[in-house]
A = this chain, B = another copy of it.
Amino acid sequence: MKKLINDPQSVVAESVEGFGLAHADLVEVHPAPLIVTRAGGAVTGKVGLVSGGGSGHEPLHAGFVGDGMLDAAVPGAMFTSPTPDQIAPAFTAADGGAGVLAIVKNYTGDVLNFETAAELADAEGLTVRSVVVNDDVAVEDSLYTAGRRGVAGTVAVEKIAGAAAARGDDLDGVVAVAEKVIANVRSMGVALTACTVPHAGKPSFDLPEDEIEIGIGIHGEPGRRRIPLAPADEITELLLTPVAEDLGLTSGEQVLLLVNGMGGTPLSELYVVYRQARRLLEGRGVEVTRSLVGNYVTSLEMQGASVTVLRLDDELTALWDAPVRTAALHW
């Protein structure tokens, strides 16, 4: 295992410390329990937005703390959701008196720990509502499973809910906007290589030189199936088709297209994927009116990418366009 780290036990704390030093104009890092809050603290009268989860997905979530997006982020250990008594103080820090929305990615651990944290906060008299992001169409969603995972679509939820909070929506309103994004965003990913969790010390799965994993998540889990390496255009079609079909996209609709890198993929390759995803959407008569290409929801140094599509309407478009000032999204 080759990493630019000092010690698997301290990498998260040191990295977040460095993040705080580099972005002192945007965020404040509190070391124990480890949380990242917006510089200047909660905004009175604004709904507070909190997200968090296991580390290793940077810039998610700390990179999205700032004006127009999150008020606090809670970084867990690598790929391990944070604990309730780490999350609860983030709720308190984010509360400006209008209640707090927790944006939770759909993993058993995240859901349980955020649930418990919300109970703790509730006992302190704080109103916390939660939304659960579950955009990964690689995973079957049924009453009898853990449901779909939350992956790159999380960026869209955090950005747009953040804009709704910033424009002054109340807690019900922000929840409704977040739910609308969740209902209209879908993703699917591919891995060319595995990633290595520092404390595990070896790759999360073994993949031959000529095979790739389709339908991977963001925790180094193997995907749904393994196929021979193929040209980018073909792989992109394998990702985009289930996304478009699950969304039931029809001709004339407008969408945001996000091509997300898993951390170890060159930007140049992400644009090759973007080009084809866009052609395929246009082939379906779907208009791509907003785009984002880059490493936003990563899986350490994994090589691969995911394709996310969000169905847009005028409200979501305006909220996407609203100003944002964070370390990783800025306009």
Interface string of A1-39 (1 = CB under 8 A from B): 011111100011011111101110000000000000000
Overall SS of chain A's interface: mixed
Check if A83 is an interface residue, CB within 8 A of chain B: no
Tell me which of B59, B63, B272 contacts A11 (CB under 8 A): B272
Q: How many copies does the complex hold?
A: 2
Check if A286 is an interface residue, CB within 8 A of chain B: no
User: Is B331 within 8 A of A56, CB to CB?
Assistant: no
Residues in B neighbouring A49, C-beta threshold 8 A: none
Complex CA–CA separation, A265 to B263 (angstroms): 7
Residues in B neighbouring A312, C-beta threshold 8 A: none
Tell me which of B231, B264, B292 contacts A264 (CB under 8 A): B264
Complex CA–CA separation, A276 to B288 (angstroms): 42
Complex CA–CA separation, A278 to B22 (angstroms): 9
Task: Kindly provide the distance from the CB of A271 to the nearest chain B CB, expressed in whole angstroms.
Answer: 4
**Interface bin, chain A:** 35 or more
Tell me which of B7, B11, B264 contacts A301 (CB under 8 A): B264
User: Is B330 within 8 A of A6, CB to CB?
Assistant: no
Residues in B neighbouring A204, C-beta threshold 8 A: none
Check if A131 is an interface residue, CB within 8 A of chain B: no
Query: Which residue from chain B places its CB closest to the CB of A21 in the assembled complex?
Result: B278
Task: Kindly provide the distance from the CB of A11 to the nearest chain B CB, expressed in whole angstroms.
Answer: 6
- Which A-B residue pairs are the 4 nearest by beta carbons? A18-B275, A18-B271, A4-B269, A58-B267
